[in-house]
Amino acid sequence: MINTNKILEVLQGDLKSAESSQKEWTAKKEAWKSESYGNLYGNEVEGRSSIVSKDIKRQLEWLIPGITDPFLSTTDIIKCTPVTFEDVLAARQTQLLINTQFTRQFNRYNFITKACRVLAVEGTVTIRTGWEYDDEEIEAEVDVIVTDELGKQYVTKQVSKNTKVLVNKPTAVVCRNEDIFIDPTCMDDMDKCQFVVHRYETDLSTLISDGRYKNLKKVALSGIAEDPDYVPEDDSNFRFEDVARKKFVVYEYWGNYDVNNDGIAEPIVCAWVNDIIIRLEDNPYPDKKPPFLVVPFTPIPFQMMGESLAENIGDKQKVKTAITRGILDNLARSNNGQVGVHKGFFANATDRQKFLDGDNFEYVGSPGAIWEGSYNQIPGSIFNFLAMQDNEIESQTGIKSFSAGISGNALGSTSAAAARGAMDASGMRRTNLVRNIAENLVKPLIRKWISYNSEFLAEEEVIRVTNSEFVPIRRDDLSGNIDIDVSIATAESNAAKSQTLSFLLQTIGNTMPIELTQKVLTEIVRLEKMPDLTKQIEEFKQKPDPMQEQAQKLEMERLKLENERLKADIRDKIARANENSVDAELTKMKVEVERAKAKKLVSEANQKDLDFLLANEGIKHKQELEKEFTKAELAHKLAILQAQLGDTDIAIYDG
């Protein structure tokens, strides 16, 4: 059994603790708001000037457009990058869905503008996220096939009830900081926050229509008492008196609490009016965290709330207010417009009256006897001091107005490098503010929206992408692990990129391919915030000139014929080279034959010469005799051998 009385007592105790720890910052916030909007300081004296120099408000009017433009100037500010290749489709579809929800289904201009203004004025902005759903039942006649008792089928009409979804989208609302109470133990980390209490004003009719609240009759019967700690959102004294529309204050607790007494704190939401709990359930959001985002303007380490713009330049505004009041009081107390004359200056009382009435008159004496009053002289150093205060204010905020503005002179030098350094400092300050909003507000908001989409989005949501294309988004594809990137661009960074690309075109534009030139031009006009021209340049395809096309065809034919001619020449040269190679080989062989013939002739000539010498010297005859003698000797030896061996025939070689 859940003890609701104990739960309410504990949660109200958490509220009291958070409220007491937040009082110091709340007092600073009210002072910052008063200074930002130029309210009186309370030290004004009757009869003296009470003007307030609205330097903070003027800086806000310059600051807000600069830090909101990056989130409002394009319809595609959210970039989703997949962590793995499996997340590519989910990232692409999530990017399409989130950009459609943020830029088309959500009033981002009012949201971003209000959030940035509250952030700069109060030092902190609190965003409550949620989900809006509404539907209605509609009746329609449909054709139904009915079979009678004889088995005959026929068509009849029946009334069918269908549910039509009217609204199904995530939401984000800027909350009043005085109605938000945060766990004081979480320091500056919202992920460690154990609870957030949201106080808001509503009525019975709204709660009954919502359908999530109970015990509303008990609230109506108990009598709705006004909360003394609550300051109504509107400044009027008008109040509804009927029960359905009478306003009352609801406290809604989002945090962790051990409802079941099992030692584990579960994420819950609990709402109460006076001492009556009207809602107690588990946290319905998929991330199980309080649906709030807290963004500081100037973060303070280990504190959730930040400092306002007025904290930096409030003293300069006070100095300028004091000087301006002194100047005005000085001018007001001067004798400007008064005229004095010596006694006896007028001839008579009648001429004196004519002088006072502005008519022509007669006087006695010299014209120098008339004295005219004027404003007191104000030293020029006063205006120099005021200009110095303006420069210090703009140097601290990084906002350059169309008045004196930030210059290199203000930083102690008149060089071009110093002026460029001042512009860089201004752009850096603005970029830092934009990055703070992107990292601490827009990205966490989009991550919550993605988790809400995965839980509450219909099974198939058709998103209109272009005028003719519809892309279905399935809920199962939206829960992937996805990184989110928010495009950040300031006027200074866009101008610098545009100038660089323009210089690139001027330098090598004539030598660049037309496709690359088209891409550079598209990027330039995109940076200059011209979406129509960007699309036209991006989709532009140059139509070919018929004469040029014909010339190109003729040129191609000429090149083709020239190519064929070159191929034929090459083949002819190759054939000739082969013939020359064969001829060279044949010539080489003929040379070898001739060499062999010459060698043979030489050998024969040498042999003839040798035979002649042998015959001439008698050597050949002597050789013949020796040969004959040798044959005779061998025949004799053969005869002896035959005699010894008997009848055996022995052949004698006659060599």
How far apart, in whole angstroms, are the C-alpha atoms of residue 256 and residue 120?
A: 31
pLDDT band at 8, cuts 50/70/90?
very high
Residue 235, pLDDT score: 72
Helices 491-508 & 416-437 angle (0-180, nearest 10): 120
In the chain, the percentage of residues whose pLDDT exceeds 70 is: 88
Residue 412, pLDDT score: 42
* pLDDT tens-digit map of 336-347: 777 888 787 877
pTM over 0.75: no
Longest distance between any two alpha carbons in the chain, whole Å: 213
pLDDT band at 630, cuts 50/70/90?
confident
Residue 2, pLDDT score: 77
Nearest 5 degrees, angle CA 107-CA 450-CA 132? 50
Residue 299, pLDDT score: 92
* pLDDT tens-digit map of 354-402: 888 888 888 777 767 777 777 788 888 888 888 888 888 887 777 765 4
Can you tell me the mean pLDDT for 284-300? Answer: 94
Per-position b or e across 604-636, b if 16+ CB within 10 A of its CB: eeeeeeeeeeeeeeeeeeeeeeeeeeeeeeeee
Q: State which of 53-67, 214-228, 452-466, 498-512 shows the largest mean pLDDT.
A: 53-67
Residue with the larger pLDDT of the pair 231 and 8: 8
Can you tell me the mean pLDDT for 580-596? Answer: 85
How far apart, in whole angstroms, are the C-alpha atoms of residue 334 and residue 374?
A: 7
Q: Give the bridge partners for 253, in sequence order.
A: 197, 270
* pLDDT tens-digit map of 134-151: 888 888 777 777 787 777
Beta-carbon contacts of 404 under 8 Å, excluding residues fewer than 6 positions away, are: 387, 390, 391
Q: Residue type at 449? A: W
Residue 206, pLDDT score: 92
DSSP letter (8 states) at residue 163: E
Residue with the larger pLDDT of the pair 531 and 43: 43
Give the residue among 359, 370, 363, 358 at the shortest CA–CA distance from 348: 363
Q: Tokens at residue 5, please? A: 């009385």
pLDDT over 50 (residue 404): no
pLDDT over 60 (residue 288): yes
Residue 400, pLDDT score: 66
Beta-carbon contacts of 452 under 8 Å, excluding residues fewer than 6 positions away, are: 129, 131, 170, 285, 286
- Write the DSSP assignment of 186-247 as a string of letters: GTT-GGG--EEEEEEEE-HHHHHHH-----HHHHHHH--PPPTTPPPSS-S-----STTT--
196 close to 204: Cβ distance less than 8 angstroms:
no
Q: What is the domain partition of the chain in residue ranges?
A: 4-24+51-131+173-310+434-486, 491-539, 553-617, 618-655
How far apart, in whole angstroms, are the C-alpha atoms of residue 623 and residue 57?
A: 146
pLDDT band at 463, cuts 50/70/90?
low
pLDDT over 50 (residue 407): no
291 close to 128: Cβ distance less than 8 angstroms:
yes
pLDDT over 70 (residue 179): yes
pLDDT over 50 (residue 537): yes
Residue 464, pLDDT score: 56
Q: Tokens at residue 368, please? A: 């120098």
pLDDT over 70 (residue 318): yes
Residue 148, pLDDT score: 76
Residue 462, pLDDT score: 61
pLDDT band at 409, cuts 50/70/90?
very low
pLDDT band at 418, cuts 50/70/90?
very low
Return the residue matching tokens 């040969």: 627
DSSP letter (8 states) at residue 544: P
Give the residue among 37, 58, 41 at the shortest CA–CA distance from 50: 41
pLDDT over 80 (residue 353): yes
DSSP letter (8 states) at residue 478: G
Can you tell me the mean pLDDT for 120-146? Answer: 88
